[in-house]
Amino acid sequence: MDINALETAWNQGPGTLELVDPPGYAHAGIAVIDAVWSIQLRYDRYVRPTVQRFVGDRGLDVGTDAASRPGFVEYGTAALFAELEGLTDGELVERFGSNHQASGRLKGVVVREVAQRLSAAGLDTRTDLVEPDDPGYDEQKQAWVGVHGLGGVTWSYFRLLAGCDAVKPDIMVTRWVADALGHERVSASDGAKALEDLAERLNERRRVVDHAVWRWQSGRHG
> Which residue type occupies 171?
I
Q: What is the pLDDT of residue 134?
A: 92
Separation of CA 53 from chain center: 19
* DSSP 8-state symbol, 16: G
For the chain, list residues with pLDDT below 50.
Answer: none
Q: What is the pLDDT of residue 44?
A: 87
Q: What is the pLDDT of residue 218?
A: 84
Decide which of 161, 177, 198 is a domain's last residue: 161
Write the pLDDT tens digit of every residue in 50-80.
999 999 999 888 877 888 888 889 999 999 9
Whether residues 44 and 138 share a domain: the answer is: yes
Whether residues 130 and 93 share a domain: the answer is: yes
How far apart are alpha carbons 172 and 56 in whole angstroms? 30
Whether residues 138 and 202 share a domain: the answer is: no
Whether residues 52 and 76 share a domain: the answer is: yes
Whether residues 76 and 113 share a domain: the answer is: yes
- For the chain, the domain total comes to 2
Whether residues 184 and 154 share a domain: the answer is: no
Whether residues 36 and 115 share a domain: the answer is: yes
Whether residues 59 and 120 share a domain: the answer is: yes
Parent domain of 143: 28-161
Whether residues 11 and 108 share a domain: the answer is: no
Q: What is the pLDDT of residue 145?
A: 97
Whether residues 107 and 203 share a domain: the answer is: no
Whether residues 87 and 150 share a domain: the answer is: yes
CATH of the domain at 116: 1.10.340
**Residue 180 in contact with residue 66, Cβ under 8 Å?**
no
How far apart are alpha carbons 201 and 10 in whole angstroms? 11
**Residue 119 in contact with residue 77, Cβ under 8 Å?**
yes
**Residue 22 in contact with residue 207, Cβ under 8 Å?**
yes
DSSP letters of 60-122? ---SGGGGGSTT-----HHHHHHHHTT--HHHHHHHHT---EETTEEHHHHHHHHHHHHHHTT
Whether residues 142 and 199 share a domain: the answer is: no
Prediction pTM value: 0.91
Q: What is the pLDDT of residue 220?
A: 67
